[in-house]
Structure 1
Amino acid sequence: MGVLAAALSLAWALALGCAHPLPHNETEAAGGGQPHGPEPHGNDTALAQLCADEGGFDAATLSENGSVLLFRGPEVWEIPRGGGQPHSRPLAASWPELGGPVDAALRLPRRQRPQEHQSLHLFQGEQVWAYAGGRLRPGFPRPIAEEFPGIPGGLDAAVECHAEECGGESVLFFKGRTWYLFDLELRVAKARAWPGPGPCGAALRWLGRFYCLWGARFQRFQPLTGHLPHGYPRDLRDYFLPCPGRGARHGNASWGAAGERCSKEPFQAALADDSGRLYAFRGGLSFRLDSHRDGHHAWPVGQTWPGLEGAVDAAFAWDGRTYVIQGSEVSVFRSEQGHRRVLGYPRALQEELGVPGADAAFTCPGSAQLYVIAGSRARLVDLTRTPRRAGEPLPLPHEHVDGAICTDDGVFLFCGAGYHRYASVAELLRAREPAPAQAIAARFFQCPQ
């Protein structure tokens, strides 16, 4: 069983109360700090002791390469993304500059600043340490008050929040019953009362979902509103740690091959949204395709697009909205700060887009030109016009297309277990023969050929 599923079970277990193997084949240096030696002995005993008590963690985050890091006292537990058993080691083995336990940890989102993006920040007392590529960044440690004006020292927890979730690249800080939203671009902090049942001892963002941990329990929350979903709190030892005799690691067999990223089962739809996120849909489930750093996991479609259920036939994004086509209907979701269905949807596809159905659909970045594919033909719809009408059918070099996306890297048509890449829409429409087929599982999920 893959370690992320066995040890965290966050994607499957938090969505459906079950876990699933999610192995990877990449081999990377783990931890995001200084390289460390062989895995310490005696971790089975240490893990058993950890599972036996009610203690929690001081901090939690993902490393630069996607391993899960759980800090406790002078040690850190690591759950490798690429396989292997969870293990603990002294903090000094990876971060020798630290002189004791950390208060909080996060992986900073700064897409426009490559030297800072994905750097690991560790907080201790009044100071913060920042590591990039496993090395302490120049100028650190620094006072928290200088690096994050308005944020106090002695933090309980911290977690990053990406632009698509918080309206701008931000950090959430927790101290007692107060939490702070810090805008990384504006360098402004806003304080508010934390609505959770207890203070956060640690916080973690994983695949766009946010978790507050305290003691042996955890609570999922929405980062802007603080909304707390029903069904929480839950016990860490049933989801985060592979404790003997515990855990919700059953029941996902009903998903079958649909939930296996490497199964070669065809996808029914694909989507590239305005923020650059990539999705594929199969059997009422959705996968993130652009999350290789942290793993690939299936979610029921309603987990990402509330109110939606069942198979998706086609999907595309335009003007900050996501359009999801099911049969002869289309639902529209606002994409900013999570997906929220627009009032009045679903509506008839013919009324909304001027087409009766779709096998696939795509828009290219920055374009209002929608291509709707049915059978071996594509029809162009100008999304800026009202009412919308579809143009004349345009021949494609494919008899059938399951899904389609357009990115800065070109147009990708999903057909069965393979995809066909075209450098542009013009190249696709000129083609008389399909482009060479390549494996979806290998390109988008890093599965073995």
Structure 2
Amino acid sequence: MKLLSTLLFLCLLLAFTSGAPAQEPTEPESTQAALPDRCSGIEFDAIVPDEKGRTFFFKGSHLWKGYEGDAQPSTNFFKELDDIHGIGHVDAAFRMHNPENSNDHDHIYFFQDDKVFSYYNESLEEGYPKTIQEDFQGVPSHLGAAVECPKTECKSDSVLFFKGQDVYVYDIPTKAVKTKSWTHLPNCTSALRWLEHFYCFHGHNFTRFHPVTGQVTGNYPKDARNFFMRCDKGFGHGHGYKRPKCSDIKLDAITTDDTGKTYFFAGPIYMRLDTARDGLHAFPIKRSWREVASGVDAVFSYTDRMYMIKNDKVYIYRGDAHYTLIEGYPKTLKEELNIEGKVDAAFVCPSEDTVYVIQGRSLRAIDLSATPRVVLRDLPLPLSNIDAAHCSSDGIKLYQGGVYFEYATPMLLTASRIAPQPQNLPAQQFGCEE
């Protein structure tokens, strides 16, 4: 029970602090009273991540960088927003998703009144500010919020602009604008896309919505102070948190899918790392894979599918914006992989058709290109009590409690007779104390 509590606290910390930059120097003590406090229940003017994955929260002429720390003048990062043009605040902002055009991909667009500003690496792009109509014809001025929507989640690469309860869907490739009315949503004063989910912020609350239909599923609104910031006033998942020791951490499985996203599984939660810039974030397993909500024994990815092993069953999910269980599953280990018994860990190396399944001190190599599956080799392992395993271009890592062992290839792994020196889990990555 103590271990489960430690894991849950670890994941909550990772969800809101991992990848967050260190707190920046604040204004002199004499001016602290004048700074806005987001833990007091304010309404944000805009929320936007930059090209490095840092999330900025704007209020008036101030902003917060990341999920903790004090407010700072916006001009510390985007000096033209006030020093030259004197706009003082922003109405809306979004990070452009246009991978086919490197000239504006990952740029941040700020909107104020009828003007738009384009920034990259905290520098204003030449030729800006412009009128909104010059860059986004058909989009109104005095916006409430804006958020990008990639074509994997919308019908094409798009931007959603909010004004009152009207939503202007701007199609990036064609520059066409369609207007929708989502009267069931509150008036969004800021919006954020975070790991394929979309959030409308209103007052100190937020509501999650579907970017195509506007549909709201679940119990909303919720207080943003419990999810999008660290507060010391009784709010926030990290309230009263004590960092666990790295030696107390136990992972159940690790895998990387064909889009490059890495998933860490521990008990009833999973942590997902999209890119180093976006940090590590934690969620309950039931959110994405409800059939295995209480946890998994092993997980591996092959082509566009994720294989989850729990007890003597194999669940195969089709990879898309949201994982979907393939019809006819789960199946038994014998039916799907031609093996029986408890599975401790499993991994597939990049561009290979072989899954390596660890059972005690045995490593079984199974041909995934064969139907039915064929066990190619049954080899001895130099280690036992393995919790999780992962293979990447850097080699193989076998996890055992709070340490891991590295091997260059499966062949070297099975040829070893003496285990290599164990290495401690990286404290910075896992948010633990060494």
Shorter-chain TM-score above 0.5: yes
Which residue, out of 391, 395, 411, partners 2:396? 411
Q: Indicate the residue corresponding to 1:202 in structure 2.
A: 190
Q: How does 1:8-87 map to 2 (within 5 A)?
A: 38=27, 41-44=30-33, 46-47=35-36, 51=40, 56-73=43-60, 75-80=61-66, 85-87=69-71
Q: Indicate the residue corresponding to 1:268 in structure 2.
A: 252
CA-to-aligned-CA distance 1:187-226 (integer Å, 9 cap, x gap)? 6666544364223221113344321112333101233453
Q: Indicate the residue corresponding to 1:318 in structure 2.
A: 302
Report the residue type matching 1:380 in the other structure. A
Q: How does 1:239-258 map to 2 (within 5 A)?
A: 239-240=227-228, 247=235, 249=237
Q: Indicate the residue corresponding to 2:167 in structure 1.
A: 179
Counterpart contact for 2:160–2:170, Cα < 8 Å: yes
* Alpha-carbon distance in structure 2 between the residues aligned to 1:115 and 1:97: 20
* Alpha-carbon distance in structure 2 between the residues aligned to 1:315 and 1:293: 24
Q: Indicate the residue corresponding to 1:7 in structure 2.
A: none
* Alpha-carbon distance in structure 1 between the residues aligned to 2:408 and 2:140: 50
RMSD: 4.0
Structure 2 gaps, min length 5:
1-7
The answer to which of 129-138 and 308-317 deviates more is 129-138
Q: How does 1:24-423 map to 2 (within 5 A)?
A: 38=27, 41-44=30-33, 46-47=35-36, 51=40, 56-73=43-60, 75-80=61-66, 85-89=69-73, 91-98=74-81, 99=85, 100=87, 101-109=89-97, 118-142=106-130, 144=132, 147=135, 151-161=139-149, 165-166=153-154, 171-179=159-167, 192-194=180-182, 196-237=184-225, 239-240=227-228, 247=235, 249=237, 262=246, 264-290=248-274, 292-356=276-340, 357-423=342-408
Partner of 1:393, secondary structure, is strand
Shift of 1:364: 2.9
Counterpart contact for 2:257–2:302, Cα < 8 Å: yes
* Alpha-carbon distance in structure 2 between the residues aligned to 1:151 and 1:408: 45
* Alpha-carbon distance in structure 1 between the residues aligned to 2:201 and 2:113: 20
* Alpha-carbon distance in structure 2 between the residues aligned to 1:268 and 1:45: 47
Q: Which has the larger radius of gyration?
A: 2
Shift of 1:387: 2.3
CA-to-aligned-CA distance 1:79-121 (integer Å, 9 cap, x gap)? 445x6x32242x3343222231222222345678777664433
Partner of 1:102, secondary structure, is coil
The answer to which of 124-133 and 182-191 deviates more is 182-191
The answer to which of 263-272 and 127-136 deviates more is 127-136
Shift of 1:58: 1.9
Aligned length in residues? 420
Q: Indicate the residue corresponding to 1:5 in structure 2.
A: none
Partner of 1:267, secondary structure, is coil
Partner of 2:258, secondary structure, is coil
Counterpart contact for 1:360–1:374, Cα < 8 Å: yes
CA-to-aligned-CA distance 1:212-247 (integer Å, 9 cap, x gap)? 112333101233453322210123455556677553
Partner of 2:206, secondary structure, is strand
Distance 1:19 1:114, change over 3 A: same
Shift of 1:403: 1.4
Report the residue type matching 2:257 in the other structure. D
Shift of 1:352: 2.0
Structure 1 gaps, min length 5:
1-11, 31-35
Distance 1:199 1:408, change over 3 A: farther
Counterpart contact for 2:39–2:233, Cα < 8 Å: no
CA-to-aligned-CA distance 1:411-449 (integer Å, 9 cap, x gap)? 332222222333444544554444443332347437565
Distance 1:20 1:278, change over 3 A: closer
Percent same amino acid among aligned pairs?
33
Report the residue type matching 1:92 in the other structure. T
The answer to which of 402-411 and 182-191 deviates more is 182-191
Which residue, out of 404, 426, 429, partners 1:441? 426
Distance 1:246 1:435, change over 3 A: closer
* Alpha-carbon distance in structure 1 between the residues aligned to 2:417 and 2:150: 42
Counterpart contact for 1:396–1:428, Cα < 8 Å: yes
Distance 1:223 1:345, change over 3 A: farther
Shift of 1:270: 0.8
Q: Indicate the residue corresponding to 1:6 in structure 2.
A: none
Partner of 2:383, secondary structure, is coil
Partner of 2:75, secondary structure, is helix
* Alpha-carbon distance in structure 2 between the residues aligned to 1:139 and 1:176: 30
Q: Indicate the residue corresponding to 1:8 in structure 2.
A: none
Report the residue type matching 1:60 in the other structure. I
Report the residue type matching 1:303 in the other structure. R
Counterpart contact for 1:207–1:291, Cα < 8 Å: no
Counterpart contact for 2:53–2:277, Cα < 8 Å: yes
* Alpha-carbon distance in structure 2 between the residues aligned to 1:291 and 1:373: 28
* Alpha-carbon distance in structure 2 between the residues aligned to 1:79 and 1:68: 6
Distance 1:103 1:360, change over 3 A: same
Partner of 1:401, secondary structure, is coil
Counterpart contact for 1:195–1:226, Cα < 8 Å: no
Q: TM-score, normalised by structure 1?
A: 0.77
Counterpart contact for 1:270–1:405, Cα < 8 Å: yes
